[in-house]
């Protein structure tokens, strides 16, 4: 007995038409491809061993190469392993050059506090003009100095202390002036104590 032996009803024919598979639309194809790409990308990214091992190896190689390149370009044939201290490094200034070669606490009247000074005495400083502290007879060379008002001498945040090489404004009388410090409050030149550090 075959299917042809049974009469086919209209309802069955209609059902067969509904079951037929139609072609997927382009939008469905794009969505499926996007889903596949997203899942595949996550699978590759979720394997940390493969990516991390390669990245670390590359980074290490690049870091070594760049360090060697910088060292050769900027330091030349020097070797840190052969320099016991900065005093033995022939191509670098000694570490002591960073320290002041002389310093002093100068009181408002121009005298020097010997207990807080090095290589500067009261014989090196005189108070002249309104607030010009003139330095003479210093037995060391220097290229500059740093000066700050002494808060303990009565100076407050309005006070300033300025340094100059030589005697640029003629505030110091006589010859051989090596440096000058001028102190002032917010409006006028007024004497006040200060600290000074000389550098070579």
SS3 content of the chain, % helix, strand, coil (to 5): 40, 20, 40
Which pLDDT does position 74 carry in this prediction? 65
Which pLDDT does position 47 carry in this prediction? 55
Which pLDDT does position 109 carry in this prediction? 94
Give 10-residue mean pLDDT values along the chain (200 residues).
53 54 70 73 55 68 75 61 50 61 95 96 94 96 94 82 94 93 90 94
Which pLDDT does position 91 carry in this prediction? 46
How many CA atoms does the CB half-sphere of 88 hold within 13 Å? 8
Strand order in the sheet with 112-118: 112-118, 102-106, 194-199, 144-149
Spell out the residues 6+ positions from residue 7 whose beta carbon is closer than 8 angstroms to its own.
none
Which pLDDT does position 183 carry in this prediction? 94
Which pLDDT does position 39 carry in this prediction? 72
Using one digit for the tens of pLDDT, what is the confidence trace for 150-168?
A: 988 776 778 999 999 999 9
The kind and range of the H/E element at 51 are: helix 48-74
């Amino acid at each position: 007995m075959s299917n042809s032996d049974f009469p086919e009803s209209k309802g069955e024919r209609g059902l067969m038409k509904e079951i037929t598979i139609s072609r997927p639309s382009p939008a469905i194809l794009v969505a499926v491809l996007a889903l596949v790409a997203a899942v595949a990308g996550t699978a590759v990214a979720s394997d940390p061993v493969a990516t991390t091992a390669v990245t670390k190896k590359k980074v290490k190689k690049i870091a070594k190469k760049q360090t060697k390149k910088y060292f050769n370009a900027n330091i030349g044939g020097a070797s840190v392993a052969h320099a016991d201290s900065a005093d033995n490094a022939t191509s670098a200034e000694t570490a002591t050059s960073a320290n002041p070669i002389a310093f002093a606490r100068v009181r408002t009247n121009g005298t020097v506090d010997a207990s807080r000074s090095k290589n500067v005495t009261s014989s090196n400083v005189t108070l002249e003009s309104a607030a010009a502290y003139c330095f003479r007879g210093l037995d060391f060379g220097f290229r500059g100095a740093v000066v700050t008002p002494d808060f303990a001498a009565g100076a407050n945040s309005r006070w300033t202390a300025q340094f100059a090489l030589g005697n640029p404004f003629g505030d110091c009388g006589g010859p051989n002036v090596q440096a000058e410090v001028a102190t002032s409050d917010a409006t006028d030149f007024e004497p006040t104590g200060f600290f000074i550090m000389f550098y070579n």
